[in-house]
Chain A
Amino acid sequence: MKRRNVLAGLAIAAAGLATGAAWKFRLFGKHYPRTPYDDLLGQITDREPAILFGRAAAKSLPDTASLAADLRRDGRTLAIRAAAEPVAGRVREVDGWLVPQSVAQYAALAALATPPAAP
């Protein structure tokens, strides 16, 4: 085996380990305080904009626990619900924006479950 092949292999292995560690220990992702609703909130790809939108959506939705209970009771993922709801006519208006009902619910949960940032 040539030395350059060995070095290339080691480099690939090191990159793989680094990627795995980053994923395992969430070295580069945004961190949020753990909540009782992380099984639901984990379905939101980017939580910052969801929280911003969710603050408005939460005004017309139930409290955090009830909201989470409703979402768990439904059982379907956010992706499946968001795609199906407009077809079935289940959209919600939030400050003039029309969104699938579940998008409003998940975003509201994100906003309600996330403590406001320290000033």
Chain B
Amino acid sequence: MSAFQDARTLPRDTVLTPDLAIVGGGPAGIALALAMAQAGRSILLLESGAESFEAPTQKLYEGGESGVPYIALDGGRLRFLGGSTNHWGGWCRPLDEIDFERRDTLPHSGWPFARSEIEPYFARAQALVEAGPWIYDESGTTVSEKGPVLQLGTGGVYTTWFQFSKTLGGVLPTHFGERYREDLKRAPGLSPLLNANVTGIRLSRDGGHVDRLDIATLSGNRLTVKPRCTVLAAGAIENARLLLASNDVMKAGVGNGNDLVGRFFADHPIPRNVATLVVFDGKLAPIYSNSQTVAEGAVMRAALSPRQEFLRVQGLAGSLTTVENPVKLDAFGTATVVTTAQALGVEASSARAFSLGCGMEMAPDPERRITLGAERDALGMPVSNLHMTVSDDDFAHFRQTLAELGRQLLAAKAGMIHLTYRQRHEWMAGMDWGNHHLGTTRMSADPKRGVVDADSKVHGIANLYIAGSSVFPTYGSSNPTLNLVALTLRLADRLKKVLA
């Protein structure tokens, strides 16, 4: 087993000239590297970290924050080979059609293409994240073997399905660096380079293309990369930071002629214990509260999602609600359940209650953004500052979906729900985050509305592309990894033509 090449050991001022430089060895960077390596081109995969966690490298992620409380910038992501797949939960679900649509009720929403554009890449993305056969909402009888689907009256909410990434031996989930280490070493034309931090994107004098990348190591070494094409795949915070900090030719930063780089940052708010679900007969299939292996070997879990038509008609953002833990009702709750069940003529002496959690979609907000701070990291790079927001509408949208779920449970005489939060401070007190960094280099066909075009190329720069969820202009509520890998495989097909 050979070792990866280490930037610290290369002669100072070495100049590397690959066809393609990929900045970042997370799921997007690794998926792109493996896909491009099959095209007979020289690929340089630049990873800031090593093969495992090292504190000095992780410290490069530190930054400042303002606005609503959010996870520390060095806390929600990992800076070594495999990136944040080294701590992801493995939750997978494709984005829905509506996530790509421009909605009048959701300002700044819409992708420059429909979901059908990335559908051809889902199968390969599913294989890379090792989430088993593609089942999801096409589950049919497959998951019904794990218990009955929760009965809901006709309406806006339905049971949808997550699948989970898994590695051989049942270890959850796939850590891209560990899983694809040998593939990266074996791939012809592919040269992963560890401990290689990109500290600057240097443009040609006219600003029309990337001339070179500055590389630095924490040990003090300096290298230069002069690629034909560059793809930033360093995550939504670092992609924005690197573009903004590379301001020697374009004073506002690379690709930032319209002041969009860093704006529209998003994550999935995960408020805990948002509601209590009561099932009158006490029978809730375990697949609602825990992942289960189904007949085809896929690991799945049920969630409750608003239907796309419901979102369109009601003008709401998406959400995915999951059953969390059994809970005990207080006297008032018990009285409410007894009274309601008796009025409905339903036996509820075996009723059980469960707390609900969720992942919410945020509305795009240009003021939720990454900027550069005054402080500098160990490599001399300005640190990131995040201004975080959550709007009252984000909570109101989700509450409306929960209320619809409650109505449908009553209509089916299957159960009822209690909504835990009403006030903003109540939502915030129970808040967690998905660590799904999205949106800072958003995609749009219009340079005034997006940093990259529909091919993920930075507007106005001939040979600079961006991969990963930083290009998501509307976020959906699905976990991003599967989707960003699919989008990256689409980018690989574009790049194969560009580099042919």
A86-B153, A87-B153 known; A95-B332 Cβ under 8 A: yes
Residue B14 at the A interface, CB < 8 A? no
**14 more A-B residue pairs beyond the given contacts A45-B342, A100-B344, with a C-beta to C-beta distance below 8 A:** A52-B332, A53-B336, A54-B339, A56-B332, A83-B413, A87-B154, A91-B403, A93-B403, A93-B419, A94-B336, A97-B333, A98-B418, A99-B336, A99-B339
- Bound form: Cα–Cα A38–B466 in Å: 71
For the complex, count residues of B whose C-beta is within 8 A of A: 28
- Bound form: Cα–Cα A48–B336 in Å: 11
Residue B410 at the A interface, CB < 8 A? yes
Give chain A residues whose Cβ lies under 8 Å from the Cβ of B17. none
Question: A61-74 vs B: 1/0 string, CB under 8 Å?
Answer: 00000000000000
Question: A21-62 vs B: 1/0 string, CB under 8 Å?
Answer: 000000000000000000000001110111011101000000
B335–A52 touching, CB < 8 Å: yes
Question: What's the dominant secondary structure at chain B's contact region?
Answer: helix
- Bound form: Cα–Cα A78–B342 in Å: 10
Residues of A within 8 A of B (CB): 44-46, 48-50, 52-54, 56, 78-79, 82-83, 85-87, 89, 91, 93-100, 102-103, 106-107
Residues of B within 8 A of A (CB): 153-154, 331-336, 338-340, 342-345, 403, 406-408, 410-411, 413, 416-420, 422
Q: A85, A87, A89 — which one has the most chain B CB atoms within 10 A of its CB?
A: A87
A49–B334 touching, CB < 8 Å: yes
Give chain A residues whose Cβ lies under 8 Å from the Cβ of B331. 52
- Bound form: Cα–Cα A79–B346 in Å: 10
A44–B339 touching, CB < 8 Å: yes
B339–A46 touching, CB < 8 Å: yes
- Bound form: Cα–Cα A53–B343 in Å: 13
A82-B344, A86-B407 known; A98-B416 Cβ under 8 A: yes
- B416 in complex: contacting residue of A50, A79, A83, A99, CB < 8 Å: A99
Q: B334, B403, B406, B408 — which one has the most chain A CB atoms within 10 A of its CB?
A: B406
